[in-house]
Amino acid sequence: MTVSDHMLQEAVDKLKSSGVRITPQRHAVLEFLLNAETHPTADDIYKALEGKFPNMSVATVYNNLRVFREIGLVRELTYGDSSSRFDCNTSKHYHIICESCGKIVDFHYPSLDEVESLAEQITGFDVSHHRMEVYGVCHECKKDKKQIV
């Protein structure tokens, strides 16, 4: 709450300065994303806000996520599963994903700037960013497997 309050204000300011109106629904989606420990799907967000906004449409969630993405407030992540996930934490970090239960955990590692600059040299692209995920089996799923065997 406390950490996010500052970030929330910053995000709201960024929206305002981009000429985006702050509606209650928009604010709620943004707040939810900032406080989210996980990396929710659009449907996760929709379900989470159902209580506060019984009449909110799924389209609103998608609309706002698109606005946030275009401004650079959130990043859209696509993994193997069918739906996109949205991540508000713009501070550099990476993800490790459990191949068994789908859980996504953050982990920190020095940013791979060297890779970016080399890629730039080799390919002639103007590099903007990169993404990386590590895949494996989490502790809980390891235990479960052992119990089955």
Partner DNA sequence: ACACTAATTATAAGAATTACAAAGTAATAA
Partner DNA sequence: TTATTACTTTGTAATTCTTATAATTAGTGT
Query: Pattern 78-117, binding to DNA, x per CB under 7 A?
Result: ----xxx---------------------------------
Q: How far is the CB of 139 from its own copies (least distance, A)?
A: 4
38 membership: H or E segment, kind and range: none
Encoding tokens for residue 48?
């989470």
From 106, 102, 92, select the one nearest 41 (Cα to Cα): 102
DSSP string, 14-32: HHHHTT----HHHHHHHHH
User: Of 49 and 65, which CB lies nearer to its own copies in the complex structure?
Assistant: 65
User: Of 21 and 129, which CB lies nearer to its own copies in the complex structure?
Assistant: 129
From 113, 33, 128, select the one nearest 73 (Cα to Cα): 33
| Contact call for residue 3 and its own copies (CB under 8 A) | no
Residue ranges in contact with DNA by CB under 7 A: 16, 19-26, 41-43, 53, 55-60, 62-64, 66-67, 82-84
